[in-house]
Structure 1
Amino acid sequence: MKVQFAPINIPLQRRIQTVAVLQWIFSFLLLAQLCCGFFVILILGNFWFLAVLYLLWLYLDWETPCTGGRRFQWMSNWTVWKYFREYFPIHLIKTSDLNPNHNYLFGFHPHGVLVAGAFGNFCTGTSFKNLFPGLTPYLHIMPMWFGCPFFREYIMSAGMVSVSKRSVSYVLNNKGGGHASIIVIGGAEESLNAHPGSLTLNILKRKGFIKLALKHGAHLVPVFSFGENELFKQIANPRGSWLRNVQEKLQKIMGFAIPLFHGRGIFQYSFGFIPYRQPIHTVGKFPVP
């Protein structure tokens, strides 16, 4: 395979954008494991009492991911996220006004490999609040991530909460309105279908979110993120292939999918785990009462 190296005279701003995306990839793929490892080191080392104190905190704070989380706006406004969004770039496109007196459930498609569009639009910066004043977005993710010591604090600070039924109900049950639950409808299983130039959505058996919206009187907002599947290349895994069968079995055991993907590197464009520079346009349609 011929390696295509990046030019030497790339502007500094683009270099910074690449570093910003690199730290996001690190956070997504490795930070949870490192946090768990650090916690084990605390338990086995001389600072075991810190681990005990954190376990006490974890016990007292266990329900927070299901009760609205713990958002810190300053974390969402980090400058690094500005460069992260500019890398692709990521755009949130408004097609209609949303009354802040109502609660909304955003059905997000597609999952892609790493859900960059959902994270960039709903967990970073102020573009969402500028377009939809009075609304607070809550990105719902797999509950397992909130069992990771320290990592749970990091993701909650960005506005992420559990995707459990109880958590979604808590957000949508806000009496004064102004809440927006964002659910990636296809789930992690849909990531196995994230191939450039193709689109396969897992929606036929995903109707629970509609029932929740009806139960709480929330308005449904279909959201589509164009370009999400173009960020990475994935090893061919058609349904029925041995690779797909293994991936689906592992997903049933572990609860999450493992797509075998690759993108570009830091100094070359041929291989690596950094996504390709492809624009993402996330479009929300008219709400369905």
Structure 2
Amino acid sequence: MRVEFAPLNVPLRRRLQTAAVLQWVFSFLALAQCCLAAFVLLALSDWWIVALLYAGWLWLDWDTPTHGGRRSHWVRSWTVWEYFRDYFPLTLIKTAHLDPKKNYIFGFHPHGVLVAGGFGNFCTESTGFSRLFPGLRSHLLMLPFWFRVPFFRDYIMCGGLVSSCKSSLSHLVSRPEGGNVAVVAVGGAPEALDARPGALTLQVQGRKGFIKLALKHGAQLVPVFSFGENELFDQMENPAGSLLRRLQNRLQSVMGIAMPLFHARGVFQYSFGLMPYRKPIHTVVGKPIPVSQTPSPSSEDIEALHSVYLQSLMELFEQHKQTYGLDENQHLTFI
């Protein structure tokens, strides 16, 4: 394979963009393991008292990821996220006013490999979420597993990440004064295994838990489609029924997290590596779907609202697809 190296005269601005995305990829793939190792080494060192004190803090703070987390506007506003935004580049598009006195569930599609659009738009201020939606606080839901890792949990909560368990989502959307936005990557880990350029298949037909909670708490539903999300990485071929896919499905059922074997470009060359391609991402926030609070929703209530949500998602995609680089004959598939 011929390796295409990056030119030596790359502007400093682009090098800083690459560095910003490199630290983000590292955070997703290895920072949790490094934090866990640091905690173990600290516990085994002469500084064990620090580890003991942190363990006490962890015990007292255990429920924070399910009770709204602990956002830090300072962390969300770091300059590094502006370089992260400009690498792709990443854009957040508002299509309708959202009343800050209400709570919302954003259904984010597609999941992609590393949810780059979800992170950049809703865990940082680089694309101007607070400016576009004044009075609203965004929280991206993440698997509960990651909030059990010492130090790492505190870092990710600073960006607005919270646990994706049912009690966490309920806590966010039941805030009496409103103003909370819970961002749910609806397709979850299974959809990540099919995230590759050109993919337009969404795993949503059986995903109705967020619909039920929206009804239970009267939270408004908002479809969100991130154009370009699946264009960032290639994946090894893993068709349904293949040995690799069976292994990935088994690991997912045991660990609860997806293990996509993805690849794209490198830091100093463009032929292979784990850095995403420089492809634009346009994350379009649709119109809110009014939801009447139903404390004990029936199956019929859930099915009816789910159908309305899928129709709104399809309309959002069809309305904007040609604006953001897709052909008229490209359509979403729901499974």
Q: TM-score by structure 2 length?
A: 0.85
Q: Is residue 246 of structure 2 the alignment partner of residue 245 of structure 1? A: yes
Q: Distance in 1 between matches of 2:49 and 2:15?
A: 42
Name structure 1 gaps, 5 residues minimum.
none
What's 1:145 paired with?
Answer: 146
Per-residue CA deviation, residues 198-254 of structure 1 (Å, 9 max, x unaligned), is 222111111000000011111000001010000011001111111101100111111
What's 1:222 paired with?
Answer: 223
Q: Distance in 1 between matches of 2:209 and 2:159?
A: 25
Q: Distance in 2 between matches of 1:250 and 1:286?
A: 37
1:83-122 aligned within 5 A: 83-122=83-122
The code of the aligned residue for 1:186 comes to G
Q: Distance in 1 between matches of 2:199 and 2:144?
A: 29
Q: Distance in 2 between matches of 1:259 and 1:215?
A: 34
Q: Is residue 72 of structure 2 the alignment partner of residue 72 of structure 1? A: yes
Asked if the contact 1:193–1:199 (Cα under 8 Å) also holds between the matched residues in 2, the reply is no
Q: Distance in 2 between matches of 1:22 and 1:63?
A: 31
Q: Distance in 1 between matches of 2:137 and 2:5?
A: 42
The code of the aligned residue for 1:47 comes to W
Q: Distance in 2 between matches of 1:287 and 1:266?
A: 40
Deviation at 1:104, TM superposition (A): 0.5
What's 2:206 paired with?
Answer: 205
Per-residue CA deviation, residues 12-52 of structure 1 (Å, 9 max, x unaligned), is 10110000000001111000000000111011111111111
**Percent identity over the alignment?**
62
What's 1:184 paired with?
Answer: 185
Q: Distance in 2 between matches of 1:54 and 1:165?
A: 27
The 3-state SS of whatever aligns with 1:193 is: coil
What's 2:266 paired with?
Answer: 265
Q: Distance in 2 between matches of 1:27 and 1:41?
A: 20
Q: Which has the bigger relative contact order, CA under 8 A and spacing at least 6?
A: 1
The 3-state SS of whatever aligns with 2:201 is: coil
Q: Distance in 2 between matches of 1:199 and 1:55?
A: 44
Q: Distance in 2 between matches of 1:130 and 1:232?
A: 30
Q: Distance in 1 between matches of 2:199 and 2:170?
A: 33
What's 1:13 paired with?
Answer: 13
Asked if the contact 1:172–1:218 (Cα under 8 Å) also holds between the matched residues in 2, the reply is yes
Q: Distance in 2 between matches of 1:128 and 1:205?
A: 30
What's 2:35 paired with?
Answer: 35
Asked if the contact 1:231–1:263 (Cα under 8 Å) also holds between the matched residues in 2, the reply is yes
The code of the aligned residue for 2:284 comes to V
- Which stretch shows the higher mean deviation, 208-217 or 195-204? 195-204
1:154-169 aligned within 5 A: 154-169=155-170
Deviation at 1:111, TM superposition (A): 0.7
Say what the alpha-carbon RMSD is for the aligned residues: 0.7
The code of the aligned residue for 2:11 comes to P
Asked if the contact 1:124–1:158 (Cα under 8 Å) also holds between the matched residues in 2, the reply is yes
Q: Distance in 1 between matches of 2:265 and 2:77?
A: 27
Q: Distance in 2 between matches of 1:38 and 1:56?
A: 17
What's 2:23 paired with?
Answer: 23
Asked if the contact 1:106–1:180 (Cα under 8 Å) also holds between the matched residues in 2, the reply is yes
Deviation at 1:142, TM superposition (A): 0.3
Per-residue CA deviation, residues 33-82 of structure 1 (Å, 9 max, x unaligned), is 00000111011111111111111000000000000101110000000000
Q: Distance in 2 between matches of 1:81 and 1:135?
A: 20
Per-residue CA deviation, residues 111-148 of structure 1 (Å, 9 max, x unaligned), is 10000000000011151111111111011100010000
Deviation at 1:197, TM superposition (A): 1.2
Name structure 2 gaps, 5 residues minimum.
291-335
Deviation at 1:261, TM superposition (A): 0.5
What's 2:324 paired with?
Answer: none
What's 1:281 paired with?
Answer: 282
What's 1:256 paired with?
Answer: 257
Q: TM-score by structure 1 length?
A: 0.99
Deviation at 1:8, TM superposition (A): 1.6
The 3-state SS of whatever aligns with 2:268 is: coil
